[in-house]
Amino acid sequence: MSLGAEVRVLDNLTNRSLDNIAQWLSHSDFQFIRGDLLNPEGVMKAVNDRELIYHLAASSDVRIGSVSPEVDFRQNVVATFNLLESLRSVGGVKTVVFTSSSTVYGDASEIPTPEDYAPLTPTSIYGASKLACEALMTAYAQMYGFKLMIYRLANIVGPRSKHGVAYDFIQKLKKNPTELEVLGDGTQMKSYLYISDCIRAMLLGLEEQKNRVEIYNVGSEDQIDVKTIANIVIEEMGLDNVKITFTGGIDGGRGWKGDVKNMLLHVGELKSKGWKPSYSSEEAIRLTIRLMLQSLCDGNYGLPT
């Protein structure tokens, strides 16, 4: 809307609230539809007369696939297929933007990992489902004539996150400010990107698109380990003498089955277009934690001050 576009949003609000977009609900160029990509009729209504589609919907918890693989299959693959079939039936869509994931690379032997890394061998059902979506969308783009932009995202963080390591640690310490359980051995090294940097990357990549299908990595240029994140959360919450316990993890210290222990994306392609992250992984995590804590209450989180 601020860019002069008419915006229509389809969301089932499973993990989110209308409060996040309350400022836009009365805007003349904004329309919200409560619906689900698993309902083909509703999807058809949502995509009708649209030129640009942002496909951001997905299962939001990478870990759930280890116990309920059908969730990732339905929420990612089936939902994406329904969207693509709606686009094919309605016609008129010129460009589709898809948020994929760094998990499609699996345990990459090349760090930082470039977009042309191969073979792609996901270690989780989530990663496999995202890779399946990439393949489906690429084929539909080639066959039915729309442009496709795929962004393989690192861990995106921000104050509205309702899952992920920072949010989980805060919730655990709210319940018990004397002890923090960390999944894995604490040495898991990953890239974290602040949400505003992610949005800038996605807008710039779209502006620069020249080929039918393009893929960009989106992430920070450094990593941070889980143990350091735990200590940052403890520090920002003003806690002392917190005992950190590690579950030890599986498969060499992973947090859960299918977790990628070492992830850092090569982002040179986007940087060559003029983008670069404003925050390091540690800065992104620390800012996210501070803003999360501010949103909980006015400076007192039910913990010692």
Write out the chain's pLDDT in tens, 305 residues.
567 789 999 999 887 778 889 999 999 999 999 999 999 989 999 999 999 999 999 987 777 766 788 999 999 999 999 999 999 999 999 999 999 999 999 999 999 999 999 999 999 999 999 999 999 999 999 999 999 999 999 999 999 998 899 999 999 999 999 999 999 999 999 999 999 999 999 999 999 999 999 999 999 999 999 999 999 999 999 999 999 999 988 889 999 889 999 999 999 999 999 999 999 999 999 999 999 999 876 444 444 33
Q: What pLDDT sits at residue 299?
A: 46
What is the reported pLDDT for 300? 44
Tokens of 270: 């986007």
> What pLDDT score does 302 carry?
43
Largest pairwise CA distance in the chain: 61
**Parallel, antiparallel, or unpaired: how do β-strands 189-190 and 224-225 relate?**
antiparallel
Q: How far apart are CA 266 and CA 81, in angstroms?
A: 29
Tell me the sheet residues that pair with 218.
Answer: 153
Shortest CA distance to 158 belongs to which of 301, 20, 31? 20
| Pairwise CA distance, residues 203 & 65, whole Å | 30
Tell me how far apart the alpha carbons of residues 185 and 76 are, in angstroms, rounded to a whole number.
30
Q: Which domains does the chain have, with CATH numbers?
A: 1-153 (3.40.50.720), 158-191+222-261+268-305 (3.90.25.10)
β-bridge partners, 106: 121
The predicted pLDDT at position 297 comes to 61
State how far the Cα of 267 lies from the Cα of 115, in Å rounded to an integer. Answer: 9
**Residue-level pLDDT at 270:** 97
- Residue 3 contacts by C-beta under 8 Å, 6 or more apart in sequence? none
Q: Which pLDDT belongs to residue 60?
A: 76
Query: What's the pLDDT score for residue 298?
Result: 47
